Each structure stands twice: as C-alpha cells, then as structure tokens.
Amino acid sequence: MWLAETKGEIRPNTGLKSGAARIWCQKMSGTKYGQWRDLFVPQRQLEAALTSGVKSLAELAERLVVPLPEPQRM
C-alpha cells in the first residue's frame, strides 16, 4: 500500500509532515493491513512524470528519486 503526497509549495513544516507520514507507514506495516510505503512528490516532478508517460503510482515511484525534506527541529 502507498501513502502518497504531492506538494506544490515547500513550507517550513514540510519535513515534519513527511516524517510523520514515514512513522505512520512503519506503524501500519506492523498491522494486518500489510506493507505501507510513503511517496513524497513535488508537484513539478509529478507533472513532468505524467507528461513523460507515467501511467501508475508504482511507475511514478520507480521513476522518481525524491530527497525527503529534513525534519523540522524544535
């Protein structure tokens, strides 16, 4: 299973939100609902991938290597 987010504007809390998504996927993967993975895709990269012919989320995940934002420090 996938938890996917496209993001048009990177804000100061984006890294914190991405970290929470990773933790959620780790916790869900330990349940009866199977393996979960998160995919963070900047909007411009999503649009470029769709223009180049990507037709599925799995194909998008294979094509994009997206560095995750650093978690926000308090």
User: Is 68 domain-assigned?
Assistant: no
User: Is 20 domain-assigned?
Assistant: yes
In this predicted model, which residue has the larger pLDDT, 39 or 72?
A: 39
User: Is 23 domain-assigned?
Assistant: yes
Q: Is the pLDDT of residue 28 over 70?
A: yes
- CA 66 to each of CA 25, 39, 40, 72: distance values in angstroms, whole numbers, following the listed order: 17, 8, 7, 18
User: Is 70 domain-assigned?
Assistant: no
- Domain encompassing residue 23: 2-63
Mean pLDDT score, 27-37: 92
Q: Give the rounded distance of the alpha carbon of 34 from its chain centre.
A: 18
Pinpoint the alpha helices (H) of the chain. 14-29, 43-51, 57-63
User: Is 72 domain-assigned?
Assistant: no
Q: Is the pLDDT of residue 35 over 60?
A: yes
Mean pLDDT score, 17-35: 92
pLDDT at 26: 93
Q: Is the pLDDT of residue 56 over 80?
A: yes
Which run of H or of E encompasses 42?
A: strand 37-42
pLDDT at 62: 81
Q: What is the pTM of this model?
A: 0.66
Q: Are 36 and 28 in contact (CB under 8 A)?
A: yes
Q: How many domains does the chain have?
A: 1
